[in-house]
Amino acid sequence: MKNLLDIVDRAARDEGGGPVRVVHLRIGEMAGVSEDALRFAFDVMAKGTAAEGASLEVEKVPLRIRCAGCGSNSNPADFVFICPECGSRDVEILAGREMEVDYILVGDGSAESENRGG
Amino acid sequence: MHEIRIGEDLREKNEAIADENRKLLAAKKIVSINVMSAPGAGKTSLLFRTIPMIRKKHAVGVIEGDIQTATDAEKIATLGVPVYQIETGGVCHLDAAMVHSALHQLDLDSIDLLFIENVGNLVCPAEFDLGEDARVMLLSVSEGDDKPKKYPLMFRESRLLLLNKMDLAPYVSFDVEKARRETLEINPKLDIIEISCVTGAGLDRWVSWIDAFIETARRR
């Protein structure tokens, strides 16, 4: 969490442009993160940092795997790491482990007015 | 209002320190094993039983991770091996920076096998690379056979699963075959050994696993 706030602080300071309004995260289905715990910690720890008062957006990234045997991609259900096409157990994770700060929105005004202004 | 693209993984900073730990341990020719599990699964008991079985062959050192108290380190210290206690002060996992500090508190020239006992937690420790050579996890049968599918990440990230407290299996209706099947769906490469730190059953196979792993790690 401290690392998240440090990243936001640094970006907001380096780029300038006013207060941070939105912090947008991408969190994988298989990341070891609880969204509830994340939101709670963000609310508590953001006070006194550049992220204070910003809203936290959490984008969920579904688990996606690639089979090393037949090369097909799939979204495994119930964490079964077996290729549904050929049955191979030699699969790698393409997505679903993310735990990243994708972007932040800074400045005055709301996201809505920005969108209307095109 | 404007957008600032960041695209930075929250684990990057930890990864960088973990790489430093890896280099330091490799330079000192130390093989390291990160031991993870839920609280009370038997990590400390495992080390307490294992160290006397292997200490003639390997110079063991231990880093203990706990949120509070040094009782685990005190218990291991009675075996007469070097041990350092990390008290995380509320943090529910070890991270690479904590281990980095601990490495500077141990005499790395006097050990060749380092056990890092993580904080008891089935989720967060799996996200934090410490610079270790292998991750070994324990699942005690009293926790239930549904845990692999509920907490898949640690099972996916581990090289060996020790099914502990097998002496209790008849009393807690733990379905070993179901646990094995579902665990191997998550991680087909996982080794699984059934043990009991009370009766000592299976510990000889765990010790053989350690020996074989050290051989492999040293050849790299």
Domains of chain B: 12-219 (3.40.50.300)
Structure tokens at B209: 């696993």
Q: Calculate helix-pair angle for A35-45, A2-15, nearest 10 degrees.
A: 60
CA distance A106 to A21: 5
Q: What's the gap in Å between the CA of A70 and the closest CA on chain B?
A: 17
Tell me what ipTM this predicted complex has: 0.83
pLDDT in tens, A78-99: 999 999 999 999 999 999 999 9
What pLDDT was estimated at residue A109?
Answer: 64
* Average pLDDT value for residue range B22-30: 98
CA distance B185 to B156: 9
Q: What's the gap in Å between the CA of A93 and the closest CA on chain B?
A: 11
Q: What's the gap in Å between the CA of A108 and the closest CA on chain B?
A: 5
Res A118 pLDDT > 70: no
For residue B9, what is the nearest residue in chain A, using CA coordinates?
Answer: A100
pLDDT band at A116 (very low <50, low <70, confident <90, very high): very low
Chain A hits for B3, Cβ within 8 Å: 103-105
What number of H helices and E strands is found in chain A? 3, 6
Number of domains in chain A: 1
Pseudo-torsion of CA B187, B192, B198, B201, nearest 10°?
A: 170
Res A115 pLDDT > 70: no
pLDDT band at A18 (very low <50, low <70, confident <90, very high): confident
Chain A hits for B190, Cβ within 8 Å: none
What is the domain extent for residue A11? Answer: 2-111
Contact of A79 with A88, CB cutoff 8 Å: no
pTM metric for this prediction? 0.92
* Average pLDDT value for residue range B26-52: 98
In a domain, A28, yes or no: yes
Pseudo-torsion of CA B215, B22, B30, B158, nearest 10°?
A: -50
* Average pLDDT value for residue range A5-14: 91
Q: What is the DSSP letter of A55?
A: E
Residue type, B39: P
Res B114 pLDDT > 90: yes
CA distance A55 to A33: 18
Smallest Cβ distance to A7: which of B6, B152, B184? B6
Tell me the CA distances in angstroms from B104 to B98, B101, B114, B204, one per residue in order: 10, 5, 13, 32
pLDDT band at A110 (very low <50, low <70, confident <90, very high): low
Q: Measured in whole angstroms, how far is the alpha carbon of residue A95 from the centre of its chain?
A: 12
Res B64 pLDDT > 80: yes
pLDDT band at B220 (very low <50, low <70, confident <90, very high): confident
Chain A hits for B188, Cβ within 8 Å: 81-82, 89-90
CA distance A9 to A19: 10
What pLDDT was estimated at residue A113?
Answer: 45
